[in-house]
Copies of this chain bind each other. A is one copy, B any other.
Amino acid sequence: MQSPLLTELVNALKILPSVGPKSAQRMAYYLLERNRQGAQKLADVLQESIEKIGHCERCRDLTEDPICHLCSSPSRNANELCVVESPSDVLAIEQSGIYRGLYFVLMGHLSPIDGIGPEEIGLPQLEQRLKEEGVEELILATNPTAEGEATAHYIQQMAQPLGIKVTRLAQGIPLGGELEYIDSGTLGQAFAGRK
C-alpha cells in the first residue's frame, strides 16, 4: 500500500534498539516530512562512522583513531587499568569523574554457550598488557550479572600469577543491574568502596 522505498526505510529503522514498527514509521515520516536536513546529516554521519570507527588498538574501545583519546592522554594514570564490558560503561565511569586510570573494553563477556570465549573478548591482549605494562591495580568493572561475575573471576585467575592487585567494584551496585544505567553518584561510591 505504502511506497516500497518507504517500507524499506521503516524496516531499516526497526533494527534500532527499542524501536518497534509504529516508532519506525513515525521516524521515517519525521525524517522525510519534517527534517530532511537532519536525515541527510544522519545518513552522512552514519556512513562515515561505519567507514572510520573501529576499535582502539590498546583498549578496544570504539574510536576513529588507531589509539583512542583516553589511551593516548598523558594525564591518565597508567598504573590503574579498569576492565569493562562495553564502551557505554567507559562513558558511564568517565561521567562519574572518579577514575583517572586507563581502560580495557571486553566488548562483551564470556558466554561459552554463544561461542564467546577468552579470545573473543580480547583476554590474550589483556594478559599481554598486564605482563608488559606497569599495571599495579586491575579493577574489574564487569556487570554484576552471572556472566559478568564469571568473566571477572576468569580475569582474576589470569592476573593472580602476575602479582597484580585485583579489585572489583562492590558497594552500591545493585545486583542484576546494568552498569551503564547507574547514576554517577552510585558509581562513584562503588569506585570508592572497591575491594
Contact = CB atoms under 8 A, between A and B. Distances in A.
Interface stretch (A63-71, A123-131, A141-149): A63-71
Contacts of A63: 3, 6
Contact of A50 (B1, B36, B88): B36
Contacts of A12: 38, 41-42, 45-46
A30 B43 contact: no
Contacts of A5: 45, 48-49, 52-53, 64
Nearest to A1: B94
Given A15-B42, A40-B50, A33 B64 contact: no
A53 B87 contact: no
A107 B25 contact: no
Interface in A1-21: 1-6, 8-9, 12-13, 15-18
A170 interface: no
A3 B90 CA distance: 12
Number of copies of this chain in the oligomer?
2
Contacts of A65: 3
A70 B1 contact: yes
* Chain A interface size range: 35 or more
A70 B46 CA distance: 33
A69 B36 CA distance: 23
Given A3-B63, A12-B46, 16 more contacts: A1-B70, A1-B91, A2-B87, A3-B53, A5-B48, A9-B46, A9-B49, A12-B41, A13-B42, A15-B42, A28-B49, A31-B49, A36-B50, A39-B49, A46-B46, A47-B47
B46 A31 contact: yes
A47 B53 contact: no
A151 interface: no
Contacts of A16: 27, 30-31, 42
Contacts of A38: 12, 15
